[in-house]
Structure 1
């Protein structure tokens, strides 16, 4: 009996999103191998221009006829598709230049009983007038069509997905993908607007600490608070002793920043208050704020990331440009820059896990809010702030899932909006969970601006041959991008931090 090609995928102990990712990669790998044998070309992650100068991205396009399908054939691979989503795809395809595409092939990772094909065809006919031929494949049709045209041996049940990914990666030119992403994103934002997700990288130009620097700053507090109440002859710690104790503490805490955060919260908070009580939180929050703004300084350059973002916010129109901001930062630097750009611009800072209640521009602080000056924010009390910092606070947030408004606002944006992430490393465990949960339901893709590594700034590659170092970094960036694509996130790389402002100017 011939083996089924998808038995291996279905039987693995993997998540639904991982399964779908492997399914998509297998389909694309199959087409690449098939057309390579024929010495013909297939384009994956294909970007095509619409009649109204927008850009759309599809999984692949076959330039010529294939089997009984007239070329060019546009291909989209999905896990599932409801009528509303299918109608939107049909509308997008109908906006393409006439006679450019002959066939649309929709490949669904479902059994035939899960597809109500007549409904799809009725929607297709109504939207496109049938000018482009529609073909829908379920799993059975995928198996049959692949088996019919396979003229090389392959044991489907022993598929090497690492090798498949490698093949697909090598077929994609990274530079082309970057320019495509910026072009696609610019057109999408111009017509639909976007939600900005901001991380600590955007505040770095103001000398605010990154996460590990915040941890180091708080560890100094624990050392400074040492008491020798039982030793009357003990002197205060001298400078060298403090330095050595801080180094020892950082060594003992290790590289797990969440565990370190637990320790530091306990070491700084009011020991007489119960965990979670306002007095317990107040002392820790105050010290956290102190470390946060300790080295604050206005950037010398006029083109900081936050200044550029602020200018784009105040110039955005309703449902165009930037429609809201979701920030993981505790600081209020963005609010300050917006007021500098336009003192009359109205902002609603959401910091208590609420929903924006007005027509003012919303900025959601989903990890808590620690402004330098409390008096600027009505009804703000530092003791009431539930800061997401420790392992327990992350665990509580994950356990609440969509019962928490902090999670809901992120999840809703990831599902329904174009999302652009700036200053984020995507290491946040709760954000990664939300990305996994929303990846297959998302109507549009999420993009992240990430810093690419270079030989010049490398610790070890400078001692190797340039060719070896470049090949390693190329492969490294390809693997990083493929892993983020599994979360539904595509990458726009930048080499220098100054490039971020240039990219923001291009996008908006």
Structure 2
């Protein structure tokens, strides 16, 4: 069997193909370790490791503890980065590092010279060494190829979630490492705005629908407005149009296309957005404050290169303004941030409560409705797509308040992941609690044993990690929303 043929075949699967090749190599290394009476511990079963595998007794003639990292290709900068990362997680003084490249190492002598500059012992393997292992274990390698998808699946679900909080601590350290480098961006979603009491998407749409109907004289009293709200909720339950489709319907109802009526539509959305804010929540929520704290430059300079927000509101801008920080809200292609300004990109549009503070605000592309979203999604070179893709490629991104279900964002993540050896982005996602899943009002709602349910949830979380990993994203699990501000503070403290 030829490794080149296997690699070409699997890379047709996009970023997922890379991880299939990685799974093949890990299993091949495990076979080699077992054949010599040794052991190979993969990252999935060893939360303290931030490398692909660890051979405590060495491997294939390397007779010392060995951290193993598999990469798509190799370069001097990448080697430096991996070695520096190894220094942070080294277990013992005599631990060595093995870097395995799927691509050919053109100049092995150069890397041998490079490794001599490091205190640690660094070994390099390329395709020749991989092909040598395949030849040595020909029968087992062929069997691996034929069952590769099932192997990858088993690797994902075998990951123990008992110590997920300990694993999260390691991920937080990794976020802090990227944050300290200054090649770091933040991507903010609806959860950030909700923390300050702003309405969710459905509430805003229902309110706008009521506003449209009452403007036509169908409701003149508060009781009638309440009745209309009830009718709308029921209509959506029965008819079930998507949020984007309903937004298109609203836009047609509130604006027929003239500039005056377009302004009326924008004004209606803006008024409802801020009028519906739940005043029980502080407009400067702990989450917004913690995000602003990370955006605050230190004595050595700014850590956050840019903020990309999918929200329409200006709540982060208000918090930064109160702190006296310099920023630039960018909502159209021609906008540029100054050298001292933190750029805040409103990639789906911008609806500040006081529009007079922002010249050219009418030029903002509003992805509120289906047609607005299609404009952004359909134009590969739309400025907002380029900004998102550039941030994903050039920086490590921390995603807060995003569900990661948006098709356009997932498409951009897929594109950027093709150039990644390891996930370098991070996203907060809520972990499903057993009680929340299995019971409602104290009564069981799932006809299965507690053991079966818990096993299912463990595998569900592991598979979610695997799916996000293929998109270049590490998950930071949380159980309650108030954990997120504390974790953000820890990121700032860990640098």
User: In which range does the TM-score fall when normalised by the shorter chain?
Assistant: 0.7 to 0.9
Whether the aligned pair in 1 keeps the contact of 2:33 and 2:59 (CA below 8 Å) is no
The CA deviation string for residues 178-234 of structure 1, in whole angstroms up to 9 with x for no partner, is 121012222332343631111110111222122333333333344435579xxxxx9
Q: 1:327 aligns with which of 309, 315, 326?
A: 309
1:254 aligns with 2:254: no
| Closer, same or farther: CA 189–406 of 1 in aligned 2, 3 Å | same
| Kept in 1: contact 2:184–2:305 (CA 8 A) | yes
* Residue deviations 1:255-300 (CA, integer Å, cap 9, x gap): 533333333322322x253xxxx44542322222122112222625
Moved more, 292-301 or 150-159: 150-159
Cα offset, 1:441, TM superposition:
2.7
Corresponding residue for 1:42?
41
**Is residue 123 of structure 2 the alignment partner of residue 134 of structure 1?**
yes
Question: Is the alpha carbon distance of 1:359 and 1:352 closer, same or farther for their aligned partners in structure 2, counting shifts above 3 Å?
Answer: same
- In structure 2, the residue matched to 1:357 is 338
Q: Which runs of 5+ in 2 are unaligned?
A: none
Give the SS at the match of 1:207: coil
Do structure 1's residue 106 and structure 2's residue 100 form an aligned pair? yes
Indicate how the Cα distance of structure 1 residues 90 and 245 shifts in structure 2: closer, same or farther if over 3 A, else same: same
Q: 1:33 to 1:210 in 2, by over 3 A?
A: farther
Alpha-carbon distance in structure 1 between the residues aligned to 2:489 and 2:220: 57
C-alpha displacement at 1:7, in angstroms? 5.2
Alignment of 1:141-180 (within 5 A): 141-149=129-137, 155-173=143-161, 174-180=164-170
Contact persistence 1:194–1:323 (CA under 8 A): yes
Q: Which residue of 1 aligns with 2:172?
A: 182
The residue that corresponds to 1:498 in the other structure is 482
1:348 equivalent among 308, 321, 328: 328
SS in 2 for 1:209: coil
2:284, 2:319 within 8 Å by CA — same for their partners in 1? no
Q: 2:292 aligns with which of 294, 298, 310?
A: 310
Which residues of structure 1 form unaligned runs of 5+? 50-55, 229-233
Q: Tell me the distance in 1 between the aligned counterparts of 2:468 and 2:294.
A: 27
1:423 aligns with 2:401: yes
Provide the C-alpha distance between the structure 1 equivalents of 2:364 and 2:479, rounded to a whole number of angstroms: 37
Deviation track 1:403-443 (CA, whole Å, cap 9, x = no partner) reads 33322322222222222111111112221111111124358
Counterpart pick for 1:488 among 458, 472, 476: 472
- Distance in 1, matches of 2:183 and 2:46, equals 20
Change (3 A) 1:272 1:227: farther
Residue 53 of structure 1 corresponds to: none
Distance 1:40 1:106, change over 3 A: closer
Work out the CA distance in 1 between the residues paired with 2:398 and 2:254: 36
* 1:57 correspondence with 2:50: yes
Post-superposition offset of 1:252 = 6.0
Aligned position for 1:71: 64
RMSD: 3.6
CA distance in 1, matches of 2:406, 2:132: 42
SS of the counterpart of 2:57? coil
Distance change in 2, residues 1:417/1:127 (3 Å): farther
Secondary structure of the structure 2 residue equivalent to 1:447: strand
**Structure 1 residues 218-297: aligned runs within 5 Å:** 218-226=208-216, 238-239=224-225, 242-243=228-229, 245-251=231-237, 254=240, 256-269=242-255, 271-273=256-258, 278-279=259-260, 281-296=262-277, 297=279
Does the Cα contact within 8 Å between 2:198 and 2:274 map onto a contact in 1?
Answer: yes
Which deviates the most, 194-203 or 22-31? Answer: 22-31
Q: 1:134 to 1:40 in 2, by over 3 A?
A: closer
Indicate the SS of the match to 2:21. helix
Distance 1:493 1:312 in 2: 20
Tell me the distance in 2 between the aligned counterparts of 1:258 and 1:15.
30
In the alignment of these two chains, the number of paired residues is: 479
What is the CA-CA distance between 1:81 and the residue it aligns to?
A: 3.7
In 2, the alpha carbon distance for the partners of 1:17 and 1:431 equals 15
How far did residue 493 of structure 1 move?
0.6
Q: What's 2:416 paired with?
A: 438
Q: For the Cα contact (< 8 Å) 1:29–1:164, is it kept in 2? A: no
**CA distance in structure 1 between the partners assigned to 2:241 and 2:16 by the alignment:** 28
Query: 1:28 aligned to 2:57?
Result: no
Q: Does structure 1 residue 336 correspond to structure 2 residue 291? A: no
1:456 aligns with 2:442: no
Secondary structure of 1:471's aligned partner: helix
Q: TM-score, normalised by structure 2?
A: 0.84
Listed as ranges, the matches of 1:335-414 within 5 Å are 335-340=317-322, 342=323, 344-353=324-333, 354-375=335-356, 377-381=357-361, 383-401=362-380, 403-414=381-392
Q: Which moved more, 1:356-365 or 1:120-129?
A: 120-129
CA contact (8 A) 2:30 2:39 kept: no
SS class of match (2:168): helix
Alpha-carbon spacing, 1:358–1:286, altered in 2? closer, same or farther (3 Å): farther
Q: Distance in 2 between matches of 1:176 and 1:330?
A: 36
Judged with a 3 Å threshold, the aligned counterparts in structure 2 of structure 1 residues 86 and 190 are, in CA distance, closer, same or farther, namely: closer
Question: Aligned equivalents of 1:66 and 1:428: distance in 2?
Answer: 43
Q: Is the 8 A contact 1:70 1:102 kept in 2?
A: no
Shift in alpha-carbon separation, 1:465–1:301, aligned structure 2, 3 A: farther
What TM-score, normalized by structure 1, do the two folds share?
0.82
Per-residue deviation, 1:477: 1.0
* Per-residue CA distance 1:46-87 (angstroms, 9 max, x = gap): 9999xxxxxx93222222222233432332222234454345
Q: How big is the shift at 1:349?
A: 1.4
How has the CA–CA distance of structure 1 residues 459 and 226 changed in structure 2, closer, same or farther, with 3 Å as cutoff? Answer: farther
Contact in 2 for aligned 1:254/1:260 (Cα 8 Å): no
Q: Which moved more, 1:63-72 or 1:15-24?
A: 63-72
Q: Describe the SS at the equivalent of 1:128.
A: coil
Which of 195, 198, 213 in structure 2 is aligned with 1:208? 198
Partner of 2:62: helix, strand, or coil?
Answer: coil
